[in-house]
Amino acid sequence: MSFIGISQRLVENTSYLEIREALSLEWGEFFKEYLEGYLPLPLNYKIDFCQYIPFLKAVILSGGNDLDILNPNPLSKMRDCYESEIIRACMQYHIPLLGICRGAQMIASYFHSCLEDIPKHIGEHKIIEMATKRQFCVNSFHNYGIRTLGEDLESLSIAEDKSVESFKHRNLSIYGIMWHIEREGGMNGDNTFYQWRDSFKEGV
């Protein structure tokens, strides 16, 4: 059986000291509707990612937490280190990779893109699909955005302020989406998710 591995956000419990890995329940509904035939495999920070590779068809870097370079803190740094390992392994073993919101920022940063504070990206806003010039609205829950991409990446859609909303690697099955496809209205938009899914869907 093959799985889709998905990274989890790190949360510090407030009632007593405990660091937890967490994944939104919305991801279960998303897998049920859009990734039929696969089970989500939550990735654990204490397990070397390479141990998962024989069981994986693809990987998702989920949202939550900021990047340490944007908002330094121990949890973000821990997540950055682990997800950098995931990106390197996906490149080495040609595993399709998709980053969502924070995950897209992580991929963009890994490939030397420019990220910065970005206003008016909390709530619904309009984006433009580059290939078709089609406009549509997406949900949005981030304070930091991608201003320019590294040379290995190319834009698939942009916001009205010209920040990058979705992108892909020029040669590998690596994609990023800045909005939350797992949340309400998240799949009303462009074709980036389907391009990523098509890279491994045959043979389901």
Cα–Cα distances in Å, from 99 out to 12, 80, 160?
A: 23, 13, 21
Contact (CB, 8 A) for 176 and 194: no
Exactly one of 90, 101, 129, 165 is catalytic; name it: 101
Q: Does 169 qualify as catalytic in the annotation?
A: no
Residue 67 CB neighbour total at 10 angstroms? 19
d(CA 22, CA 11): 7
In the chain, which ranges are continuous DSSP H helix? 26-34, 74-93, 102-110, 192-198
19: which strand partners?
A: 12
d(CA 98, CA 87): 10
Active site residues: 101, 180, 182
